[in-house]
Amino acid sequence: MTEKQNAKIFLGKKTGTPKPDEFVNQQISLHLFFLRKQMQKQAEVIENSKLLHRTSNNLMKNASGFVNVQQSHFNYFNIIRDYDIPTVLINITLDTLEHLDRSVFHHTSNNCSSMRRDGGFYGPNWYKLYCVQSEHFWKAVNFTTKVFRIGIPRGVAFMDGENITVSWLHIISDSLVTPSGEVYTNHLKIIPDGCKARRRRFYPWQQMNHTVDFVFTIAQYYGQYFYHATIEQLGRLSPYLEFLRRNEHIKVHVKSVTSFVLELFTQLGIDTARIISGYIHANILYLPSGQKCDHPSFFNLQYLSMEFRLKLQPVKANRTVILIKRSKKRWFKQHMEIKAALNETIMQYNLQLEVFSDKSLPSLKSTMDMFNRALLVVGPHGAGESNLLFSQKGTFLVEGLCYTRLRKINLCYSNIMSALGHHFYGVLPTTRDCFDIEPHELVTPVRHILNKVLT
């Protein structure tokens, strides 16, 4: 495998509350420092690409004899190496952690015991976070290096001395990539992490749309939906944004080319004419590490959030509360009553209520501005909460939780809040459906939070 290259980064050391201008200047300077380090890798990537492009004729156009390798497999990197696929590792150094804002927060709920028993809760394993019903909810704790273990293949060391691997990039010649991001090349099928990553034997050569010289794929299952497209698909891209900006000949392959996907790429400075989807034959394919379903990479999500927030005007004071309104699946039946009760409550703190409705969605830029200026967000479980990606660190989410058909609770947003350094409060109905959450069940935690923060 390719020799490791260190890249020091800094996502912002919190010394009290920085002034808006200080935050922007700090983030820009450190952002550029990281990019300069990554450019040292660019020459290596391009050289590997040229070499492979001259010798690309390896794809076996038949369904027999493929070896399946999933990213989670303990022997993943050895198998990739056996097939002579160049791999570039993206590392940060251990001393970088001294400069990171390492603060994360315990979660809380009206029913912590059910969250612990029935939820897909990742806190104890990775962030050392727990659902607590006490003042510990307000206390910041430091994450450990274990958060970088998310997405690393089983049995593979994510630390090597002073280096921590946060992502990797395979450079593959003469391959076929599917809409869900599975890759076929030279009797090998590569299955990155993602939702419904599976070992399907189906070989889709006959469905190939066309051949493209250079392709960077971030396609994942469910990538046509906002949450998965934003948090998981784009999260794979974030360490390589400057590489893609400087190499405009590379197409970017996604699950589905939707209007919001195009808006996201526009905000990130990628020409939308480069965005493609479908079954693609690539002469040279760039394959970054996948994202685990509902458990995204800590580093990638932090870096993606910083990239977006650098596009926004600094907010001098967060004086708004957002209420998310859903009209399809998992909506609040008493939305109007909840809205009235919240508005009456927050007016006592001189705050303004904004409604984010899926029936009249604002532009992406307006959405980014709305969530960036929010102090607190209230909503039923759903994709609208993905927009906290654009919020300032330490924003509060009060989420109306739902049981699934299997009597499990989807706590993916508790994981997202942990990765972004936000606060999470889960409101869980006990005997009723989440549709029936009543105003007082949301107003009570909102009032408690505002009393603590603003008084």
- Token pair, residue 275, equals 């965005």
Q: What is the pLDDT of residues 70-90, one digit of tens each?
A: 898 888 999 999 998 988 888
* One domain for residues 294 and 319: no
Residue 126's pLDDT is 77
Q: What is the pLDDT of residues 203-213, one digit of tens each?
A: 565 566 689 99
* One domain for residues 160 and 128: no
- Token pair, residue 224, equals 């046509």
**pLDDT: which is higher, 144 or 370:** 370
Q: What is the pLDDT of residues 368-416, one digit of tens each?
A: 999 999 999 999 999 999 999 999 989 999 999 887 666 678 888 988 9
438 Cβ neighbours under 8 A, 6+ residues apart: 334, 337
Domain final residue pick, 268, 288, 309? 309
Q: What is the pLDDT of residues 171-205, one digit of tens each?
A: 999 899 999 999 999 889 999 998 887 655 555 65
Residue 431's pLDDT is 62
Torsion of CA 148, 154, 160, 162, to 10 degrees: 10
* One domain for residues 37 and 110: no
Residue 205's pLDDT is 59
Residue 95's pLDDT is 72
Q: Is pLDDT above 90 for 119?
A: no
Q: What is the mean pLDDT of residues 281-293?
A: 92
* One domain for residues 156 and 33: yes
Q: What are the Cα distances from residue 178, in Å, to 7, 27, 140, 204, 254? A: 32, 36, 42, 8, 10
- Token pair, residue 171, equals 């450079």
Residue 152's pLDDT is 86
**pLDDT: which is higher, 238 or 57:** 238
Residue 19 confidence class, pLDDT cut points 50, 70, 90 = very low
Q: What is the pTM of this model?
A: 0.85
Q: Is pLDDT above 60 for 52?
A: no
* One domain for residues 79 and 185: yes
Domain final residue pick, 309, 332, 357? 309
* One domain for residues 120 and 162: no
Structural domain range at position 409: 103-142+315-454
Residue 373: CATH number of its domain: 3.40.50
Q: What is the DSSP letter of 4?
A: P
Domain final residue pick, 262, 282, 309? 309
Q: Is pLDDT above 70 for 32?
A: no
Separation CA 119–CA 378 (nearest Å)? 20
Q: What are the Cα distances from residue 360, in Å, to 246, 327, 440? A: 36, 11, 26
* One domain for residues 56 and 184: yes
Q: What is the pLDDT of residues 307-322, one digit of tens each?
A: 999 888 888 778 999 9
Q: What is the mean pLDDT of residues 124-132?
A: 76
* One domain for residues 179 and 241: yes
* One domain for residues 419 and 329: yes
* One domain for residues 129 and 157: no
Number of domains in the chain: 2
Residue 2's pLDDT is 36
Q: What is the mean pLDDT of residues 244-251?
A: 92
* One domain for residues 338 and 439: yes
* One domain for residues 41 and 180: yes
Residue 201's pLDDT is 52
